[in-house]
Amino acid sequence: METVSRYFREVLYAIGELRGEMIRPPSTETALKIRTSPRWYPYFKDCIGAIDGTHVHARVPAKISAAFRGRKHYPTQNVLAAVDFDLRFTYVLAGWEGSAHDALILADALERDDGLRVPPGKFYLVDAGYACRPGFMPPYRATRYHLKEYGGRNYPTNKKELFNLRHSSLRVTVERAFGALKNQFRILDNKPYHPFKTQVKLVLACCILHNWIIGHGQDEVIPDEATWEPNCSSTAPADGCQTDDNLDWGTRRNEIANDMWNNRGTSHV
């Protein structure tokens, strides 16, 4: 067992050293997925990816376990990640307590010297738990959002609903990336038996390996986009964590929504 443990640590360290090579900032060019679809182009031409948080099992000392219990009934670490539209992780911040809100973790990511950077004029899609601010575009709140809410002939009835529908259909990329990550690396959904610092490194290592797999062919465990069921709780703003929307970016979102609605033609979606 000592031999297994020693080589486990050595391999984990070696994979971690590939972070700068395998987890890179996204391209500033318009993604092919957006560029080739009238649903998203030109409205999201400046979108470089999507951001969300996910929870993975954590084992921590009993005296601090309460802080690691958030939405789950067991301790978790809240992992923030940015994903491009090829399902590659372009930024990962692991190690936060499960009770921490995604908006707080995003603020930490932006303040770090080696943290998340958004090129001028570009933006990420985020859920309703975040404010509309430079670099981050959430859906309209108190408005239908999930794809399944528009099933059958239940079409969007105004510009906000249409914007939310297309926002949801594009932002689902990050949820599919998390689904593929956890399907591929079951260790993330199992109770860990490593020190917490090692648990954090494991998340990063899995994201690095995920990107390597994506770069060398289609990952067979990626959830199908047409049948993917989004996480309903992911778009609900959390109490006390929501900051005010930025006026200029709120206006930009309105302009995009207006253009979508005016150009919808005979298609509602």
For the chain, 269 residues long, the average pLDDT of each consecutive 10-residue run is: 85 94 95 95 97 93 89 89 96 95 94 94 94 95 74 79 93 92 89 89 96 80 63 47 80 96 72
The answer to the question of residue 267 being in a domain is: no
What pLDDT sits at residue 218? 64
What pLDDT score was predicted for residue 223?
67
Single-letter residue type at 244: D
**Structure tokens belonging to residue 114:** 């080696």
Please give the backbone phi and psi of residue 62, each rounded to the nearest 5 degrees, phi first: -55, -35
Query: Does 174 reside within a domain?
Result: yes
Residue 12, φ and ψ in degrees, nearest 5: -60, -45
Q: How far apart are the first and last CA of the chain?
A: 56
CB neighbourhood size of 137 (10 A):
23
**70 domain-assigned:** yes
Identify the domain containing residue 148 by its residue range.
2-262
pLDDT, position 239: 46
pLDDT of residue 256: 96
Kindly state whether residue 171 falls inside one of the protein's structural domains.
Answer: yes
Q: Measuring CA to CA, which residue among 23, 8, 5, 7 is closest to residue 202? A: 8
State the Cα–Cα distance between residues 201 and 58, nearest whole angstrom.
Answer: 12
- Quick check: pTM over 0.85? yes
Q: What are phi and psi of 53, to 5 degrees?
A: -115, 155
Q: Does 8 map to a domain? A: yes
Identify which of 232, 261, 191, 197 has the alpha carbon closest to the alpha carbon of residue 43.
Answer: 261
pLDDT of residue 240: 47
Among residues 103, 113, 74, 78, which one has the least CA distance to residue 92? 78
Please indicate, yes or no, if residue 268 is contained in any of the structural domains. no
pLDDT at residue 1 in the model: 74
How many folded domains does the chain comprise?
A: 1
Cα–Cα distances in angstroms (integers) from residue 164 to residues 169, 188, 250, in the given order: 9, 31, 14
H/E stretch holding 53 reads strand 47-57
Both tokens of 30, joined, read 């318009």
Is there a domain that residue 269 lies in? Answer: no
Using only the alpha carbons of the chain, give its radius of gyration.
19
* C-beta of residue 208 within 8 angstroms of C-beta of residue 90: no
Q: Where are the beta strands (DSSP E) in 76-224?
A: 76-83, 89-97, 123-125, 136-137
